Structure 1
Amino acid sequence: MEYTVFSDDQRPGTFVLIEGWARNEDLKAHNEEVHVKEFVNVVQSMLAAPFSVTPITPLG
């Protein structure tokens, strides 16, 4: 439903990706896709620090 990339103004070189999913099951299925796993494996070596995932829930 949503896929937006932000640059962190307080930490240059840090990016935040917001993904919106209709259902948690959809996100889980997406993360099991071969192309997603391949992307994660390739990109890891390009990062200064491992990426992290923080689930959030909209209020209201």
Structure 2
Amino acid sequence: MTSNDAVVVVATIQAAEGSEDKVEQALRAAIPAVHAEPGCLRYALHRDLRSPGTFVMIEKWASAEALGVHGKGAALRELGAALDGLLSKPLSVQTLTALPEGDGDLGRL
């Protein structure tokens, strides 16, 4: 598998007012299980500096197939259950492919 097969995902999670801590805890709890999934190259949680209730998960998967397995896996099912009722809107998920330019290491995740 080459790095050209990799898929990058940016998932934006918006906590309902007053649920920020619970959402963060649920997201953090899922990370070790996802890191152990085959094909997981990156699964990194971030918080928006201007909107503390907005979390962004930046993911990198070895292939679309690995991402598909993740999407049907236990870790994501459990995370979905843990987030039930805690979000102000549905998750926003972008699935991306790199268009590297310039320095290959700097031009792609």
TM-score greater than 0.5 by the shorter chain: yes
Q: What is the aligned-residue RMSD (CA, Å)?
A: 1.5
Bigger strand share: 2
- Contiguous gaps of at least 5 residues in structure 1: none
Moved over 4 A (4+): none
The higher-RCO structure (CA 8 Å, 6+ apart) is 2
Task: Count residues in correspondence.
Answer: 60
Q: TM-score, normalised by structure 2?
A: 0.49
Unaligned runs of 5+ in 2: 1-40, 101-109
C-alpha contact (below 8 Å) 1:44/1:50 kept by paired residues: no
Give the structure-1-normalised TM-score: 0.80
CA distance in 2, matches of 1:12, 1:49: 15
Larger Rg: 2
User: For residues 44 and 50 of structure 1, do their structure 2 counterparts lie closer, same or farther at Cα, with a shift above 3 Å needed?
Assistant: farther
What's the counterpart of residue 3 of structure 1? 43
